[in-house]
Amino acid sequence: MSDDPMPRPHDTPPRNPTGGGAIIALLALAGVIGGGLLNQPSIGLLVGLGGGVLIALVLWWRERAR
């Protein structure tokens, strides 16, 4: 018999996933502001969204690899 009355779950470290939603929103806002300074807010929005989505996908890919 074992000295430990209750079996312990596997000793795995807790996972703290990161979210990319804030990065997407901040880069979209920064894109609008930067594009507005260049009189192209729509293009700035698209560039900011593209950059935010790209960074969010990289974060997701890194978390998935763990």
pLDDT over threshold 60, residue 2:
no
pLDDT over threshold 60, residue 49:
yes
Look at residue 37 in the predicted model and tell me its pLDDT. 97
For 21, half-sphere exposure in the C-beta direction (CA atoms, 13 angstrom radius) is 2
> How far apart, in Å, are the Cα atoms of 1 and each of 4, 5, 10, 22, 43?
9, 9, 20, 52, 69
Among 14-23, 29-38, 41-50, 52-61, name the one with the lowest average pLDDT: 14-23
CA–CA gap between residue 28 and residue 56 (Å, rounded): 13
Instruction: Name the pTM for this structure.
Output: 0.71
Enumerate the domain spans of the chain.
21-65
CA–CA gap between residue 48 and residue 55 (Å, rounded): 11
What is the tens place of the pLDDT at every residue in 9-35? 666 666 677 788 999 999 999 999 999
CA–CA gap between residue 36 and residue 55 (Å, rounded): 22
